[in-house]
């Protein structure tokens, strides 16, 4: 018996529960029918059930107190069976009431768990296999509930965990979108500040505190009052924290300042002083047209920024050189399209790459650079190469959702999981420009509510590889493709992430025609 199952059995026995127990307590009155969980989960679970189709799988949702709040299954026989097992609205699935199962044990462990056949503690569950995974609120990280897929053991599939995990991610995204807009802005600003580096970052917004691990090791709650006194957007300030650590703190307001503040910390010690500006040295952001070079470059700098353009230098070298000479040395500098700089402009820029305020250059992917542009990239201490959108399918949901919010009227609609899956299956030769065009076109046909696959332009509704697959096969196809992309094509790692053997993965690759 697996260790986590053995420990669950021990907890069940210690609670006084007998394996022959058949009574499951029901507490319908305590269920919050208007909860964040139900609002976020309902369309996701409906979409998942539609994708599974008539296959004999049931989807169960429980709340933070492990009460069943939703049950969905296309097969009517499963509904009848669930009723007989106590899996009804309001049914309380804790280990002390129902023993070891994927709802109760996932709730207890706060992690995903599969329970198959004889691993169930109660005798009447032993003909079932199930996988459950907890849902956490993206901002507060509090437990919202558990999503479970259950079937008879004979119908068990090794890809159930991947299907459930994807549903959980979609529910958590909807829970974030359901949060007050001010909290969303704080969360987005915090996420942006922590992306791509390991500096300590803390966000404060009323009673909300977000902290990455580096900040948790550095900043204590006793420091929060001191931080709240800082003037935001005024540049770095030196502070001594309660721990005695000396830090440089940059405070940035979120929204109009009333939403909250994000703080970025850098330790001040002898080695860092001797290193000069090594931490904030020049950065090169490379990638093809439309891959988001400008957005990534601006995210790497603190505002306000001086921006210069290589195309303008090609048209007016002298004017560009004057602008470079007059650039405020206290402001970070962003120079775009360095591959288009004339030789004299590139040479002059090469002489100031170590400017203390910071410098970010953009241009083609590093291997494509030649001459002076290659020399400029080589002088940068850090390189960020942005892959084409077709290689960033695991990021596409975040990219599309963020882009949609920035479009006029985009805050009134939401991309459903099925629409995001259809978009992720495309090749995107036009990169982010093409994605923006598709989203803009979609907004013209759907100005409010949930954007489904049918709202997308016709050619973007189904990927060629999935057209002849059944609903469950499509769900398996999407789970495998996502795992392969996340693993960089490494099949062994993808199989491990999916919880299946490499032999099973290879078999499903052939069966689902995944090249």
Alpha-carbon distance of 27 to 50, in angstroms, equals 28
Cis peptide leading into residue 485 (ω within 30°): no
Q: What is the pLDDT, as a whole number, of residue 32?
A: 87
Q: Which tokens sit at 6?
A: 């053995």
Residue pLDDT tens, the chain, 515 long: 899 999 999 999 999 999 999 889 998 888 888 888 999 999 899 888 887 877 888 999 999 999 999 999 877 778 888 888 899 999 999 999 999 999 999 999 999 999 999 999 999 999 999 999 999 988 888 899 999 999 999 988 888 888 898 899 899 988 887 778 788 888 888 887 787 667 889 998 887 888 888 888 888 888 888 888 776 666 678 888 888 888 888 888 887 667 788 899 988 753 333 333 334 578 888 888 778 788 777 777 766 788 898 888 888 999 999 998 888 888 888 999 888 898 888 888 888 888 888 888 898 887 777 888 888 888 887 888 788 877 776 677 778 888 888 888 888 888 887 788 778 777 777 888 888 889 998 888 887 888 887 788 877 776 545 555 665 666 777 778 777 767 767 788 888 888 787 777 877 777 776 65
Phi-psi region for residue 36, left (φ > 0), alpha (ψ -120 to 50) or beta? Answer: alpha
Phi-psi region for residue 202, left (φ > 0), alpha (ψ -120 to 50) or beta? Answer: beta
Q: What is the pLDDT, as a whole number, of residue 270?
A: 37
Residue identified by tokens 């195309």 is 311
Contacts with 26 (C-beta within 8 Å, 6 or more apart), sequence order: 86, 88, 89, 90, 91, 92
Q: What is the pLDDT, as a whole number, of residue 227?
A: 87
Q: What is the pLDDT, as a whole number, of residue 273?
A: 35
Q: What is the pLDDT, as a whole number, of residue 467?
A: 53
Alpha-carbon distance of 390 to 32, in angstroms, equals 42
As to burial, measured by CB atoms within 10 angstroms (0-12 exposed, 13-18 middle, 19+ buried), residue 53 is middle
């Amino acid at each position: 018996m697996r260790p986590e199952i053995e420990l669950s059995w021990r907890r069940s026995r210690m609670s006084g529960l007998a394996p022959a127990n058949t009574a499951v307590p029901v507490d319908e009155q305590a269920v919050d029918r208007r909860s964040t969980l139900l609002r976020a989960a309902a369309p996701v679970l409906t979409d998942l059930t539609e994708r599974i189709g008539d296959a004999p799988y049931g989807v169960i949702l429980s709340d933070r107190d492990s009460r069943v709040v939703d049950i969905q299954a296309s097969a009517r026989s499963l509904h009848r069976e669930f009723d007989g097992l106590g899996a009804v609205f309001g049914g309380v699935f804790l280990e002390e009431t129902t023993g070891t199962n994927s709802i109760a044990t996932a709730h207890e462990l706060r992690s995903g768990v599969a329970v198959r056949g004889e691993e169930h503690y109660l005798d009447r569950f032993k003909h079932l296999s199930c996988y459950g995974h907890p849902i956490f609120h993206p901002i507060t990280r509090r437990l919202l509930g558990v999503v479970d897929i259950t079937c008879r053991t004979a119908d068990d599939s090794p890809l159930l965990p991947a299907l459930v995990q994807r549903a959980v991610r979609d529910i958590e995204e909807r829970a974030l979108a359901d949060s007050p807009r001010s909290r969303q802005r704080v969360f987005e600003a915090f996420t942006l500040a922590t992306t791509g580096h390991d500096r300590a970052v803390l966000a404060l917004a009323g009673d909300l505190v977000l902290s990455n691990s580096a900040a948790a090791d550095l900043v204590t709650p006793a420091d929060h009052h001191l931080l709240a006194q800082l003037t935001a957007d005024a540049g770095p300030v030196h502070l001594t924290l309660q721990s005695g650590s000396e830090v440089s703190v940059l405070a940035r307001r979120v929204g109009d300042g009333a939403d909250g503040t994000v703080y970025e910390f850098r330790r001040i010690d002898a080695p860092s002083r001797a290193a000069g500006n090594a931490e904030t040295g020049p950065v090169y952001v490379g990638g093809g047209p439309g891959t988001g070079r400008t957005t990534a470059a601006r995210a790497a700098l603190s505002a306000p920024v001086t921006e210069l353009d290589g195309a303008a230098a090609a048209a007016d070298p002298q004017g560009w050189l004057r602008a470079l000479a007059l650039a405020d040395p206290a402001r970070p500098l962003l120079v775009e399209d360095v591959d288009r700089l004339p030789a004299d402009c590139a040479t002059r820029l090469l002489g100031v790459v170590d400017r203390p305020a910071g410098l970010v250059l953009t241009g083609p992917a590093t291997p494509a650079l030649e001459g002076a542009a290659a020399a400029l990239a080589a002088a940068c201490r850090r390189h960020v190469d942005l892959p084409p959108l077709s290689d960033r399918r695991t990021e596409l949901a975040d990219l599309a959702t963020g882009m949609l919010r920035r479009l006029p009227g985009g805050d009134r609609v939401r991309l459903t999981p099925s629409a995001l899956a259809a978009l992720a299956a495309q090749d995107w030769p036009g990169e982010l420009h093409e994605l923006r065009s598709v989203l803009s076109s979609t907004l013209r046909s759907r100005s409010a509510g949930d954007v489904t696959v049918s709202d997308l332009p016709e050619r973007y509704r189904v990927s060629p590889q999935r057209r002849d697959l059944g609903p469950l096969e499509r769900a398996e196809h999407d789970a495998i493709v996502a795992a392969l992309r996340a693993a960089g094509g490494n099949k062994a790692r993808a199989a491990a992430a999916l919880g299946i053997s490499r032999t099973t993965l290879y078999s499903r690759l052939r069966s689902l025609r995944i090249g």
